Amino acid sequence: MAKPELEFFDTEVLAWRAVGGEAGVSERVLAEDAATGLLTRLVRWDPGVNTTAAGPVAHEYFEEVLVLSGSLHDLRLKQTFGAGHYACRPPGMLHGPWVSTEGCIMLETRYEHQRPR
């Protein structure tokens, strides 16, 4: 199964739900393929979220992130990223840990690496 076909809809109708293992982090899943784990979602970090304990992370999928509001500070890079900042992370790319003093909302898309045929 693939992600569903969806026409424009108001994302406010979707409830924020807690992201497991991440205190102060919630999501609104916009579209998802449950069979593959590929998804597009809004992610909200409450003010004060700190992912230091998790350390840097890497994924087995591509991840694209656009900060829509607020900001987050990358402790490894020693840089703060706010609304309008974008990241494209290929599989295996280390990122984080993060602190978000004011909180933030991000648009995130995950997808698989497509190998040439």
pTM, full prediction? 0.90
> Is residue 110 within 8 Å of residue 30, measured between CB atoms?
no
Domains and CATH numbers, the chain: 15-109 (2.60.120.10)
What average pLDDT is seen over the chain?
92
What distances in angstroms separate CA 87 from CA 11, 66, 90, 101, 106, one per listed residue?
22, 7, 10, 20, 11
For the stretch 6-27, pLDDT in tens is: 999 999 999 999 997 778 999 9
> How much is the average pLDDT of 56-73?
95
**Residue with more model confidence, 54 or 30:** 30
